[in-house]
Amino acid sequence: MQQQRLDEAYAFCEAACRNASTTFYSSFSALQIDKRRAVHAVYALCRWVDDIVDGDEEPTILETKELREATAARQLIVSDLHAGTSPSLSEDEHRRRMMALVDIRLKLERASAQAITEDDHPIFVALQDVFTRYPIKLADFETVIEGMEDDLYPVQNQTWDELRSYCYKVASAVGLILIEIYGYEDRAARLHAIDLGIQMQLINVLRDINEDMERGRIYLPVEVLASHNISVDTLQNQNIATTLSWKGFVVEYVEVIKRHQSSANHLFGYLDGRARVQPEIMADAYTSILNEIVRRSGDVFTQPVKLSKLRKAMLGLRLSMRKLKARLLA
């Protein structure tokens, strides 16, 4: 692989990260250049997969016999996992998105086996290099894609365990990839990375409830909602935000988040000074979102929950201070 092509691939991934989230992108800047480029590649893939499933990216696929057969085989497995449930989309649309995910699976396998060529998509060109530099695991990428496959079907989690399982697939598995790039000496770091992913995704689920319901997805545990006298139909009424039932549910939900947060906070001590800055800043950003939800007494319905410009500026300042401290201690 020519260095110029590799540099172009990493530049593509960096641009994808910058365009997707300025908060995430800024937090990556504390990392050493090689680690930063690797993280850009991982994040660019995750963003791409998420956009395909949500319909924000129109998949462009070269449909081959191998891909058709692999898609049919994977669909049998996924259909069995979702027995009795039809896909959320039309048959043709579902097949296209499923095929796009299978195509990504196959290319990840090739990247891990060093079989990607210069003609492949730049994300896989970059990831092939990442596989050679860091002990990242193909299985963790496959877990992320499995979580995205779940989103092609109507989602209605029943219990905390089902919600945690989803959070593990789409967030904790990403964290397990990233800490192999950051580097750590004690395997206990992996357990805390799992909790950080669950904590952050639980906050996403609560914040994005309106958007998710529009897509036919109810991530909140239905049985827990029922224990607070809340039905799925009730969630469609924005007046629910003012009820004691919803406020009681949010109190329980926040307590669960904080239990995972208590474990997640131990992760940072297992990472070196520069590597820990990125997850610390992201944890701060998500804690700020949670604090805003609490300040609103759990009202995530009437208007979107976003970080204010002042809060973003404060996070930027904190990032600069932590980067300086990490460099002084290096």
Spans of all domains in the chain? 1-153, 154-330
Largest CA-CA distance found in the chain, in angstroms, rounded: 62
Listing DSSP states for 224-237 in one string gives HHHHTT--TTGGG-
| β-bridge mates for residue 217, sequence order | 155
| Residue-level pLDDT at 83 | 85
Tokens 């950080």 belong to 196
User: What fold is seen in the domain 154-330?
Assistant: Farnesyl Diphosphate Synthase (1.10.600)
CB count within 10 Å of CB 22 equals: 12
> pLDDT tens string for the chain (330 positions)?
688 999 999 999 999 988 877 767 777 877 889 999 999 999 999 999 999 998 777 777 888 999 999 999 999 999 999 887 899 999 999 999 999 999 999 999 999 999 999 999 999 999 999 999 999 999 999 999 999 999 999 988 999 999 999 999 999 999 999 999 999 989 999 999 999 999 999 999 999 999 999 888 899 999 999 999 999 999 988 789 999 999 999 999 999 999 999 999 999 999 987 788 888 888 988 999 999 999 999 999 988 887 666 666 666 666 566 655 655 555
> DSSP class of residue 260?
H
